[in-house]
Amino acid sequence: MKKVFKIIGLTLLIIIALLIAIPFAFQNQIKDMVKVFINQNVNAKVEFSDVSLSFIKGFPQAHVAVNDLVITNLEPFKDETFASVKDIAFTMSIKELFKTASDGPIVVKSINIDEAKLNLKTDLQGRVNYDIAKTDENATTTKAETSGFAFDIEDYQIKNSAFTYLDQVSATEIKLSNFNHEGHGTFSAETSELDTKSEANISFSLDSTNYLNNNTIKLDALIGLDLKNSKYTFKDNKAFINHLPLQFDGFVQMVEAGQNIDITFENPESDFKNFLALIPQEYSKNIENVETSGDFKVKGIVKGMVTDATIPKLDINIVSKNANFKYPNLPKGVSNIAINASIKNTTGNVDDTFVDISTLNFKIDDDVFKSSATIKNITKNMVVDAHLDGILNLENITKAYPIDLENELSGILKAKLNTAFDMNAIETNAYNRIKNSGSVSISNFVFSSKDIVNPINIADANLTFNTPTVSLNSFNAKTGDSDLNASGSIDNLLGFLLSNSKLQGNFNVNSNLFKVSDFMSENETNTTDNKTTSDAESLKIPDFLDCTINANAKTVVYDNLNLTNVKGKLLIKDQQAKLDNMTSSIFDGALALSGNVSTKGKTPTFNMNLGANGFDIAKSFKGLDLLQSLAPIAKLLNGKLNTSIDISGDLDKEFAPNLASVSGKALGELLTTSVATNKAELFSKLEGALGFIDFSKLDLKDLKTKLEFANGKVSVKPFDLKYKDIAITVSGAHGFDQTVAYNAVFNVPAKYLGSDINQLISKIDSEEAKNITIPVTANIGGTYTSPTVKTDLTSGVSNLTKQLVEIEKQKLLSKGKDKIANLIGDVIGGNKTKTDSAKQQQNNAVKDVLGGLLGGNKKTDSTATQTNNTANTVKNALGGLFGKKKEKDTVK
């Protein structure tokens, strides 16, 4: 007996080992089988990571699994993913694995799909991405037979999957997420039953309008299968949309032309709570304990053919009369609810589908709100005719319904509005097809947000709807210390609200006090909840704005700046703000500003022309970092300033200029200006090197200079100053980092050079010598806080020496010419005695002059000595002026 058990045990081990090992032998065969099936049936690019076979998982059936299956479309949807499946598994009889092509199709018993994603798409040209099945025009057998597979399914399951349908022609989008479905039955019999369970979250939008947003749907249905006639009948079933129960009756039959549908449905109960059940739970919260009265009924008929040209006829009605509801934990309820709405199609033409909301009324406290609308031509150019009439206390919304708002609402909304339009008219501004009449107003409205520091209190706002514009009759608001008063017109409010159109309009905005800080977050540089942008983002001008604003503010406060009488035009379009002739009073002068700011790129940019007239220098340079960077030395001056600055560059995240990026040019003019008594280190260093100048007496009146700047450097074109009768020419450059590199050329009259030089000039006895000036260059380097000053005396010495020598030569030459002229006169006069002596004098005179000028006798040595002496005298004189401050006392 032991031997028998041993044999049985050994046999079982061998069988188990074979069940485990044999699949490896057939692995390649299975892969080849899958590839052949794909190539025969699919016109797309198909990839998978692995195909496996197991005799254990589905024993006694064979289990075939395909992993990481991806189907990618070819043209015209090239490289778009049509479908992806993490795992797809089939079970079949083991004998099916040994079939050859001549043995007939392989029969599959069950299918399990996990994490499938299917994307169905119709593009604007009407082409579809799901027509990927290959066709065989010469085939005489069924498609299942030619494909190499047949299905005798008893069970199937789809888990954790998603489905997307996008029709760009009709702007329709359907999404199913968290889709789980399973079915059990016998497909091989001509008639049988299929027991199914399905659940998913559904979203549905049409022409950018969301009608379902992640609503939960469930369906438990027993479906009768008539495979011979391809007819599927709803038997015992129950469906849920969110918590609204529905029951279905009827059938779906596959016919040659398409699908024949005949289905009716309704909610089995009539309690108004069913209406709340339609609303997604995240908005309706727990409705179990909500007190309701009144009825709510949904009934529908879907009947007709689904073909390429038609849809079934529709007759879906939603009715509620005299209904009320109140949440137990909220102070107010909603009463007198009346709903009468229907979705219909009487022709089978999809374009003839329409929605008729004849009544949608409700009451909260004493506020009654009534509305009605019809929506036609839904799939193409939607046509809307709507009417609103009522009063609504916004504060009561959250007191009667458990909606979570980021910020509490308050204020009274009044509306009496009729509007009729088609979407194409809205999108193309075809105002002749847009009919608006009525008004909307709001009062005592308070808006608060984490993105702004202070709540915005709108005392009143009144809109009148006309064709084609909407008039903003009044808008009075206050936030923080700022007040706003506005009026104007809006060209396409409906286009902005209902489509992707921009908000176009013209507005007049007035303010007594406008503080920029009242409209900014408390701390835009940290990561608190008030921050409106991330660290990597900059503030953006909204791209939906296309408007013109005429601004007039008595006082605008920005940081430490107070601007008064601000007037100008602001044009906003394409994420750009253009300032047109913006004027203001500031720093005891007038400011004019034109240019633009753009936030289209990753980094905001600006291009501005700034004109200042009569600015107080001390105040303006204290308040504006830009002026300090362009001309830092000017903050040491008192007086008035005129300037025009053309500047462009980048803005940082707080919309302040990034000085390292700015470039441009400037023209400055100083009026009635003097040096401040509290001189900086730079002037102190200059006075030490230039002992003969008192900078407090420097004449800066009507000084003009030109600047050019780029890459953090400012280049200053040469400009002229005067100190008494000393002309000064200054040029050079400085950096925004406070480094300086300037040259100041002082044209010093000879009279300032002391008694030795003046005695030397008086000996020359020449008017030209008395007007001699010498240029002396001061080189200024280092930084404004730690400057260095060096003077170059060499060129001044050389210049004055040459001038004096040249004057002396000209005098000698002139004397020689006079002597020669006298001798010539004697010869012409006939005086022989004088003529003979004159010849001798002439020779001597010429020799003396030439000797004095050209050298060749002893006078050459004396001239050189004189030149050296003159040079030494000049050098000593200049040394007394430049670098020896005690000489300053001797200069008058």
pLDDT tens-digit map of 735-773: 888 888 988 888 877 777 666 666 666 666 666 666 777
Q: How confident is the model at residue 145 (pLDDT cuts 50, 70, 90)?
A: very low
Nearest to 72 by CA among 51, 40, 48: 48
Interval 74-87 mean pLDDT? 88
Interval 656-680 mean pLDDT? 77
Q: How confident is the model at residue 821 (pLDDT cuts 50, 70, 90)?
A: low
> What integer best gives the mean pLDDT of the chain?
77
Residue linked to tokens 């504006």: 624
DSSP at 653: T
Q: How confident is the model at residue 3 (pLDDT cuts 50, 70, 90)?
A: very low
Instruction: Flag the least confident range among 368-372, 596-600, 884-888.
Output: 884-888
pLDDT at residue number 879: 60
In this structure, the dihedral spanned by the alpha carbons of residues 95, 99, 103 and 107, taken in order and rounded to 10 degrees, is: 60
Q: Identify the residue with better confidence: 12 or 586.
A: 586
Q: How confident is the model at residue 138 (pLDDT cuts 50, 70, 90)?
A: very low
Q: How confident is the model at residue 11 (pLDDT cuts 50, 70, 90)?
A: very low
Instruction: Flag the least confident range among 51-55, 133-137, 383-387.
Output: 133-137
Q: How confident is the model at residue 691 (pLDDT cuts 50, 70, 90)?
A: low
Left if phi > 0, otherwise alpha if psi is -120 to 50, otherwise beta: which for 423? alpha
Residue 259 CA from chain centroid, whole number: 49
Residue 505 CA to residue 549 CA, distance in Å, equals: 8
| 3-state SS assignment for residue 870 | helix
Determine what percent of the chain is predicted with pLDDT higher than 90. Answer: 21
Q: Say which residues have a Cβ less than 8 Å from residue 369's Cβ, sequence separation at least 6.
A: 361, 362, 363, 388, 389, 390, 391, 392
Yes or no: say if 659 and 736 are a contact pair by the CB < 8 Å rule. Answer: yes
Residue 490 CA from chain centroid, whole number: 24
CA distances from 576 to 502, 570, 571, 658 (A): 13, 10, 8, 18
Question: What is the β-pairing status of strands 503-515 and 545-558?
Answer: parallel
Q: Report helix angle 755-764 to 858-881, nearest 10.
A: 140
pTM metric for this prediction? 0.62
Nearest to 421 by CA among 407, 431, 410: 431
Please, which residues bridge with residue 50 across strands? 67
Instruction: Flag the least confident range among 3-7, 267-271, 806-810.
Output: 3-7
Nearest to 681 by CA among 669, 668, 695: 695
Instruction: Flag the least confident range among 28-42, 45-59, 255-269, 455-469.
Output: 28-42
CA distances from 522 to 452, 458, 480, 605, 795 (A): 8, 21, 12, 24, 61
pLDDT at residue number 887: 39
Residue 74 CA to residue 800 CA, distance in Å, equals: 90
Instruction: Flag the least confident range among 129-133, 155-159, 488-492.
Output: 129-133
pLDDT at residue number 459: 94
Digit-coded pLDDT (tens) for 254-288: 888 888 999 999 998 888 888 887 776 667 777 77
Tokens of 741: 């590199």
In this structure, the dihedral spanned by the alpha carbons of residues 348, 349, 352 and 357, taken in order and rounded to 10 degrees, is: 40
